[in-house]
Chain A
Amino acid sequence: MTIQQAISPLGPGYDGVPGEEKRFRDVFRDTLRAEMQRDPDVFLMGEDISGGFDKDTKEPLDAWGGPFAATKGLVQEFGPERIRDTPISEAGFVGAAIGAALTGLRPVVDLMYFDFVTVAYDQLLSNAAKSRYMFGGQTRVPLTLFARSGAGTGHAAQHSESFYSMLAHIPGLKVVVPSDPYSVKGLLAAAIRDDDPVFLVNDKKLINLTGFVPDEDYIIELGKGRYTRRGDDVTLVGMSYTSIACQQAAEILAADGIEAEVIDMMSLSPFDEDILLESVMKTNRVVIVDEDTPRASMASEFAAVIADKAFDYLDAPVKRVTAPHSPVPYNKGLETAFMPQPEDIVGTVRNMLARG
């Protein structure tokens, strides 16, 4: 199943609000541009975010415009000091971005593929996340990072990871996962304006999706989830692209008269415990859907919180639909099987309801 249309931002306040259908990638770039216009201390660093220089004039060529052309055109507007191409040197330039954040700037780092987090992991963990605490609150680290995650595009084992939990595990770091054009606008703006280090994980499968985006300037509060569908029979919990898979599953279930409630978590650290508990206490059944591998995952964390705080409301065991405990395979069939599919979610819900 393919989907061309992402989730529409549900309800509160957005009926009749001026806006239009936009592509995820365009919203991403427009939001970066707006934040750079808004604050001269915001600048962008990364590999090939403009891409290429004229040998004689030393002027940037914007040959790539960033991975997936995410930042195309920005260098013409802001120049190479603010759209700063880096050597392939993740630990070095992430460390330099942290140093810049500690001394008064608001760097935004494009890490290209999410898998490359591990190359810069020490800088993120030991410096970005810990500086404020270990120095007794003297400083802040207003750093934003983003990178592309997710299987489904044939990028294989080292360009397809979704290991959100490796970041969410770090105290001092915040992690957000947009799932549509609406949420990427609000979450990216919130991340850049936040005074803590925030990592925005961007599933590659979202990049060409379209969806309704309000024209107005807005942010989505970090740590808040949202309902993208209301229902009474079962709660489906999604994050990043799995929110779309949950939405698709809910539509299939609705054809059978099963009304699923869908939560799009949007933030993984901090995360919205209240919305999880509120929904589970109403539906009494929950399926958590995560493209990350299952051990010590966000799915496991949500399951633990629900078991701890809503046990008496559950009519069935908490179920998780996740990737297997394996690297991401290349072969299309294997890769499809690796990812949680709407059919997997539907099957899990049917088994759960059949249990009584």
Chain B
Amino acid sequence: MDISKEKLEWLYTTMYRIRRFEETMLEQTFKGNAMGVTHPSDGQEAPPTGICAHLTDKDWIGSTHRGHGHCIAKGLETDKMMAEIMGRATGQCGGKGGSMHIADFSKGMLGANAVVGASIPLAVGAALTAKYKGIENESIGVSFFGDGASSQGVLHESMNLASVWKLPVVFACENNGYAEATPAWYAVSTDDIASRAEGYGMPGVVVDGMDVFAVYDAAGEAIARARAGEGPTFLELKTYRFHGHFHADTPLNYRTEEEEEYFRERDPLKSFEKRVTEQKLMTAKKLKGIRDAIEKEMVDAVEFALNSPMPDAEALYSDVYVSYSNPIPGLR
């Protein structure tokens, strides 16, 4: 396998961090410590991990309401993420964004976005900046979105723009089979969303989104194309969310136990562990060491968040504008 030892460890660390962050976040949500709705991405660890493994802080990603995995894979800190979900002043966005709006511009993370499809043109715009400045080789745009967003017009507009302007973009469609409760087989006009790429003059690749190595390889090619100035690529990553659409969803109301079991057997973490130990690329001890470190990180993240202050009342009015000499309070 053509992948460095450090990169292998990073893949596992990142996937396990996403898994345990989502599980821990859900526990905290059910304890009432989250201040709002959360959308877990456990099961879908491979796409963000395999793609972001090729990116640096100078590359930009756009994300979705199910964005914790994208954040973690792009290098955001889990304590600040947990604090954001708990609405704290120390959160990634000062407690004003919440689970669906975590961003870190210093890490090239343009923000989770809760209007389905709305972040897609932002990644195209980031790629336009790179092209404008002549830095495509070191700064590209990756747009993460789901099968639900594949029906939004703005995706199609963004694909057309990226293609006609030959921008360094990777369209990463995480097809987890469901838009809320609506199955892709009902709402999407084609079996493979990637087949639509042809109509926009770009390669479209169907990838096993439960296998981080498959994602890593496909993303490597797409990102190399972008950095070489060859334009956009569309990746369709067939994946599955282990939980429901949001924390309180009951997915068995719209999908079967057999289906869930089928995908749980293809758990991307389990298959990673099996493969690297069988091929003697990593030891079971090494894997456990990574898991133990993450367990401690999660305990620390929860403790940090719970012990953090709430935002000041003035935060209600701050940062509406950069310059806003005369804020308008709510009328009383």
A interface vs B, CB < 8 Å?
43, 81, 86-87, 89, 91-105, 122-123, 126-127, 131-140, 171-172, 174, 194-196, 223, 270, 273
When the two chains form their complex, are residues A194 and B141 in contact, meaning their CB atoms are under 8 A apart?
Answer: no
Closest 10 CB pairs of A and B: A99-B125, A95-B121, A92-B157, A136-B93, A136-B94, A137-B319, A99-B122, A96-B125, A195-B322, A135-B103
A137–B127 CA distance with the chains assembled, in angstroms = 23
Nearest CB on A from B136, distance (A): 13
Quick one: closest B residue to A86, CB to CB? B161
When the two chains form their complex, are residues A172 and B321 in contact, meaning their CB atoms are under 8 A apart?
Answer: yes
A102 cross-chain contacts in B, Cβ below 8 A: 105, 110, 122, 125-126
B97 cross-chain contacts in A, Cβ below 8 A: 134-136
| CB-contact partner of A127 in B92, B104, B118, under 8 A | B118
When the two chains form their complex, are residues B319 and A98 in contact, meaning their CB atoms are under 8 A apart?
Answer: no
A171–B318 CA distance with the chains assembled, in angstroms = 12
A100–B110 CA distance with the chains assembled, in angstroms = 11
Stretch at the interface among B13-21, B174-182, B296-304, B323-331: B323-331
A94 cross-chain contacts in B, Cβ below 8 A: 121
Can you name 20 A-B pairs with beta carbons within 8 Å?
A: A89-B161, A95-B157, A98-B121, A100-B128, A103-B60, A104-B129, A105-B129, A105-B132, A123-B121, A127-B122, A132-B321, A135-B93, A136-B96, A138-B106, A139-B103, A140-B322, A172-B320, A195-B323, A196-B324, A270-B325
When the two chains form their complex, are residues A91 and B60 in contact, meaning their CB atoms are under 8 A apart?
Answer: no
Contact (A95, B132) CB under 8 Å given A87-B160, A102-B122, A122-B115: no
Contact (A136, B91) CB under 8 Å given A91-B121, A99-B110, A270-B325: yes
B70, CB-defined interface residue at 8 Å: no
A172 cross-chain contacts in B, Cβ below 8 A: 320-321
Interface size class of B (residues with CB under 8 A): 35 or more
B326 cross-chain contacts in A, Cβ below 8 A: 223, 270, 273
A195–B323 CA distance with the chains assembled, in angstroms = 8
When the two chains form their complex, are residues A92 and B160 in contact, meaning their CB atoms are under 8 A apart?
Answer: yes
| CB-contact partner of B125 in A95, A133, A138, A196, under 8 A | A95
B124, CB-defined interface residue at 8 Å: yes
Q: Mark B98-125, 1 if CB is under 8 A from A, else 0.
A: 0001011110001101010011111111
| CB-contact partner of A133 in B113, B161, B320, under 8 A | B320
Contact (A100, B126) CB under 8 Å given A86-B161, A136-B91: yes
B157 cross-chain contacts in A, Cβ below 8 A: 87, 89, 91-93, 95
A43–B128 CA distance with the chains assembled, in angstroms = 11
When the two chains form their complex, are residues A223 and B125 in contact, meaning their CB atoms are under 8 A apart?
Answer: no
A92 cross-chain contacts in B, Cβ below 8 A: 121, 124, 154, 157-158, 160-161
B132 cross-chain contacts in A, Cβ below 8 A: 43, 81, 100, 105
When the two chains form their complex, are residues A95 and B96 in contact, meaning their CB atoms are under 8 A apart?
Answer: no
When the two chains form their complex, are residues B161 and A123 in contact, meaning their CB atoms are under 8 A apart?
Answer: no
A122–B113 CA distance with the chains assembled, in angstroms = 12
Quick one: closest A residue to B325, CB to CB? A223
When the two chains form their complex, are residues B320 and A135 in contact, meaning their CB atoms are under 8 A apart?
Answer: no
Q: Mark B158-174, 1 if CB is under 8 A from A, else 0.
A: 10110010000000000
Contact (A138, B115) CB under 8 Å given A95-B125, A196-B323: no
A101–B324 CA distance with the chains assembled, in angstroms = 19
Quick one: closest A residue to B100, CB to CB? A134
When the two chains form their complex, are residues B319 and A133 in contact, meaning their CB atoms are under 8 A apart?
Answer: yes
Nearest CB on A from B140, distance (A): 11
A174–B130 CA distance with the chains assembled, in angstroms = 27
Quick one: closest A residue to B161, CB to CB? A92
When the two chains form their complex, are residues B161 and A138 in contact, meaning their CB atoms are under 8 A apart?
Answer: no
When the two chains form their complex, are residues B124 and A99 in contact, meaning their CB atoms are under 8 A apart?
Answer: yes
| CB-contact partner of A126 in B93, B113, B158, B319, under 8 A | B113
A139–B36 CA distance with the chains assembled, in angstroms = 23
A89 cross-chain contacts in B, Cβ below 8 A: 157, 160-161
Nearest CB on A from B111, distance (A): 6
